[in-house]
Amino acid sequence: MSSVAYSQEAAPSDDFGSQYQTNPDAKMLLQADNLVVDRDQNTVTAAGNVQIEYDGNRLVARQVVYNQKTKRMVAKGNVEILEKDGNRIYSDEIDVTDDFRDGFVNGLRVETVDDTRFAAESAERSLGEITTFNNGVYTACRACEKDPSKPVLWQVKAKKIIWNGTKKTVRFEGGRFEMFGKSLFALPAFEIADPTIKRKSGFLFPSFLYKDELGFGMRVGYFWNLAPNYDITTYGTGLTKQGFLSETEWRHRLENGSYNIRVAGIYQAKPGEFGSTTVDAQERFRGMVASKGDFKINPRWSFGWDVIAQTDKNFSRTYKIGGYSDESLTSNVYLRGISGRNHLDINFYKFKVQEDVLNGSRYAVDTKQPWVLPSVDYLYTVPESVYGGELTITSNLQGIYRETSDTIYQNNAARFLNGMKGTSARLTTEAEWKRTFITEQGLVITPLLALRGDAIGIDTNDTFGTVNEIRSQAFRGMATAGLEVRWPILFSSTSMTQVLEPTAQIFVRNDEPYAGRLPNEDAQSFVFDATSLFQRDKFSGYDRVEGGTRANLGLRYSGNMNNGWSIHGLAGQSFQLGGLNSFAESDFAGAGADSGLEGKRSDYVAMLGMSNNSGLAFAARGRFDKDSFDVKRGEVEASHSGQIVKASVKYAYIAKQPDYGYANDRQEVSLSASTRFKENWRVFGSGTYDIVSETLVRAQSGLAYDDECFTYSMAYIQTRSPGQDKISHSVGFNISFRTLGDLGSSF
């Protein structure tokens, strides 16, 4: 027999000022196999598969006795309560009020929505918000599924555990910390945030560090949760050699975005610990101010910034300020707009190189870095077809100021001018139209037309070479007519599917005006390989443009086998058919030299990749001499990514490039591997070996453990410059107890 009953009204709120609130319109639903009403005792007894639901809470038990006078329920037999916030409570017997607000229980076990667990001999719940566990246990670890009696990885045992739902805290009194069932140390009374709360004021776990010039140090932080949308975090680091490093970060989240402000500083006690000829030894007070922000103006427009200012150019790197310790930093203020396929991107940049070299040295790099004021990119695609094709308009505006020439010296002579002193500006606009036709025979034919114009102005007194080599102003116009023909051919069998795609391109253009006589700021990182074979303009930026008539020929291949393997590849060559070869006209930065494109026929380029669905992959790519097929540039790599073992090995080769100052071949091998054992443990290692100098440039090895409640890692790192004997050693470790905190080294 099944019975269902509804209460007449919800229990009234209490007079104790608790924040616990119930819905005054909530009704209680009771369902059971049998229902007995005792009017003399004013009790209702439900027995057999009892389920009670009230205001989002649910209770399941074998039997429930409800006293209408006291408004309390006594549930017995495999009792489970699912609270409306997701927490689960288990017991053999529990005594609670009919609104689930207060109660007393023996043999309690609680599972929170954050997958943490409480257990106790007995517990009391009062005011609807405070639960006191007597002789309690707390952990964030799951019990072993195969052997539930096996001790969990870690747990905290305490005489009293007080869980305050109003303050969102968990307080431990008279506690001990255990790992693997063994008691490690006693704990004084301490308090942590409610495991379900991600933002709670309090001390952060300390971290430790060591560096020769800084000494030993310990870093301690405190987090102030001032409001739901803003907070402050402060850190203090005591260093045995340099004194006290302080850091403060303010974070603020608004309706349309967020920003932060970060400040750090130190008064160095012993600057002499650094080399006397380094930036680090010149000042006692050193510091930085940085800020990041990102805001949405509307669904299409956003703006933001990421900027930093320092007392010197190496402070954040020396003291490893989080997020600002890289060798290169970029300050950026931006405005972005996106609408469908169209976008506008405005950026102001300042590049900084963190180095210990003094500014007066020829080898100082930071003062050679430019201000970009501004860089504007605009892309507009005409929504309607134009003569059956697609018309795209691209514009770029770039303004640059540099205080010092970025000149590379070889044999005490100026060899390359990577960046010009003074100011320069360039405005580029290009319109490109293309349309694709497919013939009955399967040929894919794509004609292309493009017009481009560049207006360039330069103000410099740079003395690189002869001043007359650098023009003060110029207009550069380019017209291109192109045609691409592809013929995909499909081969199918019962075991695999293959596609061969011969491809041919031809581009007819006028010669590049002023080739090599204009500054080159953004087209220096040029590498000719299979990925750039079919690009219309193979230069990497706007400052150089490919001219003359050029044809590109190649063959693409892809295959998919039924056994899970897939193969893809590409090979081809490029030909300069007429006009001035832009890659044979080296500019101030040396772009195009030893590129493989400087002749009438280019070097051959190819790539091949194989992979299967078990995580095994192979790849090879290279550039080969057009006459001898000697390798000019090549990479070979293999990798495996499985659940137990992950490994990769890579070999890279670059033939000597005298024009760039590399008189010898360059070869390098890198290896990395990680393997798991005993489910949660893994060992890992990596290394990079410079074959030419016979130097182990970098080596790392480590041991790690990770599961749902605990992570541990320790690594040893060794670094050395190619051909140098001096070796740098470092050891790092990190221990993390989920919900309790982290302990480890900062750097």
Lowest mean pLDDT among 15-29, 167-181, 535-549, 563-577: 15-29
> DSSP readout, 590-610?
-TTTTSS-SSSBPPEEEEEEE
The pLDDT value recorded for residue 367 is: 87
| DSSP state for residue 316 in the 8-state scheme | H
User: String of b and e for 536-548 (b: at least 16 CB within 10 Å)?
Assistant: bbbbbbbbbbbbb
**pLDDT tens digits, residue range 206-235?**
888 888 889 888 889 899 989 989 999 999
Instruction: Parse the chain into domains and list their residue ranges.
Output: 3-101, 201-324, 406-635
Structure token pair of residue 725: 């004997």
> Collapsing DSSP states into helix, strand and coil, what is residue 38?
strand
DSSP state of 8: S
**Cα 678 to Cα 690: distance, rounded to the nearest angstrom:** 35
> What digits encode the pLDDT tens for the residues 322-347?
889 899 999 999 999 999 889 999 99
Q: Is the distance from CB of 67 to CB of 43 less than 8 angstroms?
A: yes
Whether residue 447 is preceded by a cis peptide bond, meaning omega within 30 degrees of 0, is no
Q: What is the pLDDT of residues 648-683, one digit of tens each?
A: 999 999 998 877 777 788 999 999 999 998 888 999
- Which amino acid type is present at position 90? Y
Average pLDDT over residues 31-59: 83
pLDDT at site 726: 75
* Fold of the domain spanning 3-101: lipopolysaccharide transport protein A fold (2.60.450)
pLDDT at 182 over 80: yes
Give the 3-state secondary structure percentages of the chain, helix then strand then coil, rounded to 5.
5, 60, 35
- Give 697's strand partners: none
In 3D space, the residue among 163, 90, 98 whose CA is nearest the CA of residue 124 turns out to be 163
Please state, in angstroms and rounded to a whole number, the distance separating the CA atoms of residues 650 and 618: 10
Tokens, residue 416: 């390359």
pLDDT of res. 20: 44
- The single-letter DSSP state of residue 57 is E
How would residue 9 be classed by pLDDT, with cut points 50, 70 and 90? very low
pLDDT in tens, 440-491: 999 999 999 999 999 999 988 776 654 446 778 899 999 999 999 999 999 9
| Residues 424, 458: Cα–Cα separation, whole Å | 4
Q: How confident is the model over 363-379, as a mean pLDDT? A: 92
pLDDT grade, residue 23 (50/70/90)?
low
Q: How far apart are CA 272 and CA 214, in angstroms?
A: 11
